[in-house]
Structure 1
Amino acid sequence: MNERKPGFKTEVVIVASAFGADAIRRDGHSFWAAAAARAGANGFEVRRELFADDADAAPDALRQLGDAIRALGLWAVYSTPATLFAADGSLDLDALNLALDEAAALDARIVKLQLGGMQTGTATDAATLDRALTAILKSSAQVVVENGQLRAGGTIDAFASLFSALPEASRALTMTFDTGNWLWAGENPLDAAARLAPHVTYVHCKAVTGEGARRFAVAPAADDAHFAALLAALPANVPRGIEFPFDPAALEADAAAKVAWLSAA
C-alpha cells in the first residue's frame, strides 16, 4: 500500500510528548511547537493530558495556542485521552462533543480520541452510529480513534467491527494506527495493518522495548525490518506522528533527523 513516487515526502507531525511530558507541562505547548517547526515538522500534536492546568483547555487559551502553532507554519492535531465509547460499550456523546469543541477552538486539522468500549468491542448498531456521525459531520477536523494499550479499545476485531458497520461511503470517522500500542494489547501489528489499512488516516510511529506491562516506546532502529514492513503496509499519503522520545542529550538535532528520516521512509 505504501507506494511512493520519486521525491514524495510524507507529512510528519511531532507529538508533544516526544519532547518529554515534564518539559511540555513546564514550558507549555507553544514553546515546543517552535522546536517542532525548527525540526522541519509539518504539524504538531497537542496533548490534552499534558496541559499544566484545566484553564489551558478553555476556548480562549486553545485559540491562542492554535494561532501560535499556525504562525509557526504548522498545522495542529488535538489529542484527548477521552474515549469515544464508554466502558459498557455505549457511545459517549458528551466526550465526543467536548473533544470536537476543543479541537474547533484550536482549529485542529485532526482530532483524536481513544476508541474505548469493552474488551468485546463497542456498540455498532445503526442508531448509535448515526448519533456519532451526526456530531462528527459538524466538525471541520478529521475525527480519528486510536488503538490503545488495553484490550478494551485495543483489539483488531473491535476496529474491524466498527468500520464494517459504518456506511460504506463514510470517511467521517477513521483511525489513528499506533504501531506500538497493539503489542500492549496482545495483538500483532502486521495483522492489524492488513485488516485496517483502508481506514487509517494518521499513523503514530514508535517501536517498543521490554515485555508485558514493562514495555516502553523507543525510536525505531534504522534497520528495524518489522517497522519498515508496517510502514509498507500502511498508506504513505497520510501524516505520520513521532510519538517516541527524542534523545534528551540532543533534542532538537534528533528531532530534525527523525523528521527527515520518517518523511522519506
Structure 2
Amino acid sequence: MADIVIVASAFGVAQVHEQGHHAYVPVAASAGAAGFEVRRELLPAALDGAVSTDALAALGRLIAAHGLWSVYSTPATLYTDAGALDCEAVRGALAEAETVGARIVKFQLGGFAGDASAEVLAKLLRGARARVLVENGQAAVGGSLAQFRELFAALEAAGVANLLGMTFDVGNWQWPGEAPLACAQALAPYVEYIHCKGVAGEGARRFAVAPAGNDARFAEVLAALPGDVPRGIEFPFDTVDLAADAHRHVTWLKAA
C-alpha cells in the first residue's frame, strides 16, 4: 500500500499563509498520512526572498516528532526560460530541503529544450540527501509530455537515467492540454511520487478538486502508474470539518 502525503496547500493557501505549516502538521498525522509536503511559496520569507533556516529546521523537527516524513516543494525550476540548467536555484533548494530534513525535494522543469547538462546536474545532485524529482507544471513550458520524454531520454543517453525521478501531477496535465492517461503510460517508469487531484472548470478558470469516487479516468491514470510510490493529496479539504475530511480522503486514497 502506498504512503499518503498531505500537501500543505490542501488545508487552504490563505490558512497556511496565516497560521503557518506547523498548525497543520498534527492534523496530517491524525488523519493517517505518512508524509507532509512543505510548500516553499507558503513559507514566510524575508524581503530578499530568503526563508529562515531556523524556522525550516524547527518545522522539520515538528514533522518528524509527529511520525511523518517530508517532501520539500519548491517553485524553482531546474532549467531557466532560456533552457540553461539553473545551478543557483538547484543549490538553494537542496540546502533548504536538507535543513527541513526532506526525503524528497520537488522542482518544476522550466524551459528544458533538449540539453540535460547531465554532467553538471550530476555534480549538483551528488551528495544530496533528498531524492530530487521534477514535476509537470500547468504551463505549456514545463508541462508538455514532449519535454519530459526528451529529458529522460537525454539522461538515459548520458548513462545517468537514475539521476532524478518524476512527480506526476494527474491534474496539471489538463492545463496545457495533455491527456493524463497517455502521459502516465509514457512516463510511468520514471514516476516516484504522484500528486492526486481532479480538475473542474475550463480554460484559465480551472481549479483543483477532489476526484470523484466514481471517476473512471482518474482510476485509469492511477492504474497506469506505479502502485507503490507515495500519493500526495493536493486538492482542498472541506473546511467545515477539516480533520474528518482529511481522514476520509487519506483512507480513500490508500485504497484507490
TM-score category of the 2 structures, normalised to the smaller one:
over 0.9
Alpha-carbon shift at residue 249 of structure 1 (Å):
1.1
Are 2:183 and 1:192 aligned? yes
Whole-Å separation in 2 of the counterparts to 1:52 and 1:98? 16
Contact 1:133 1:173 (C-alpha < 8 Å) held by counterparts: no
Corresponding residue of 2:118: 129
Whole-Å separation in 1 of the counterparts to 2:211 and 2:50? 32
RMSD: 1.3
Return structure 1 stretches of 4+ with deviation > 6 angstroms: none
SS state at 1:254 partner: helix
User: What does the per-residue CA deviation read over 1:127-148, in whole Å, with 9 as the maximum and x for residues that have no partner?
Assistant: x111112111220111001000
- Give the aligned residue type for 2:241: A
Alpha-carbon shift at residue 59 of structure 1 (Å):
1.9
Mark the runs of 5 or more structure 2 residues left unpaired by the alignment: none
Are 2:222 and 1:228 aligned? no
Are 2:245 and 1:254 aligned? yes
Are 2:57 and 1:63 aligned? yes
Whole-Å separation in 2 of the counterparts to 1:57 and 1:226? 39
Q: 2:230 aligns with which of 216, 239, 249?
A: 239
Q: 1:77 aligns with which of 46, 71, 78?
A: 71
User: What does the per-residue CA deviation read over 1:185-227, in whole Å, with 9 as the maximum and x for residues that have no partner?
Assistant: 1111111001101000000000001111110100000000000
TM-score by length of 1: 0.92
Corresponding residue of 1:179: 170
**Stretch deviating more after TM superposition (145-154 or 48-57):** 48-57
- Give the aligned residue type for 1:233: A
Whole-Å separation in 2 of the counterparts to 1:53 and 1:124? 33
SS state at 1:44 partner: strand
Whole-Å separation in 2 of the counterparts to 1:113 and 1:169? 18
Whole-Å separation in 2 of the counterparts to 1:166 and 1:52? 35
TM-score by length of 2: 0.95
Whole-Å separation in 1 of the counterparts to 2:89 and 2:44? 20
Alignment of 1:1-265 (within 5 A): 9-54=1-46, 57-117=51-111, 121-125=112-116, 128-167=117-156, 168=159, 170-265=161-256
Contact 2:74 2:106 (C-alpha < 8 Å) held by counterparts: yes
User: What does the per-residue CA deviation read over 1:56-103, in whole Å, with 9 as the maximum and x for residues that have no partner?
Assistant: 822222111100100000001000111110001111010000000000
Count of equivalent residues: 252
- Give the aligned residue type for 1:161: E
**Stretch deviating more after TM superposition (161-170 or 148-157):** 161-170
Whole-Å separation in 2 of the counterparts to 1:212 and 1:86? 25
Whole-Å separation in 1 of the counterparts to 2:71 and 2:183? 23
Contact 1:26 1:52 (C-alpha < 8 Å) held by counterparts: no
**Stretch deviating more after TM superposition (152-161 or 54-63):** 54-63
Alpha-carbon shift at residue 25 of structure 1 (Å):
1.1
Whole-Å separation in 2 of the counterparts to 1:195 and 1:137? 27
Contact 1:91 1:123 (C-alpha < 8 Å) held by counterparts: no
Alpha-carbon shift at residue 170 of structure 1 (Å):
3.2
SS state at 2:132 partner: strand
Alpha-carbon shift at residue 244 of structure 1 (Å):
0.2
Mark the runs of 5 or more structure 1 residues left unpaired by the alignment: 1-8
SS state at 1:40 partner: coil
Whole-Å separation in 2 of the counterparts to 1:129 and 1:200? 19
Alpha-carbon spacing, 1:22–1:134, altered in 2? closer, same or farther (3 Å): same
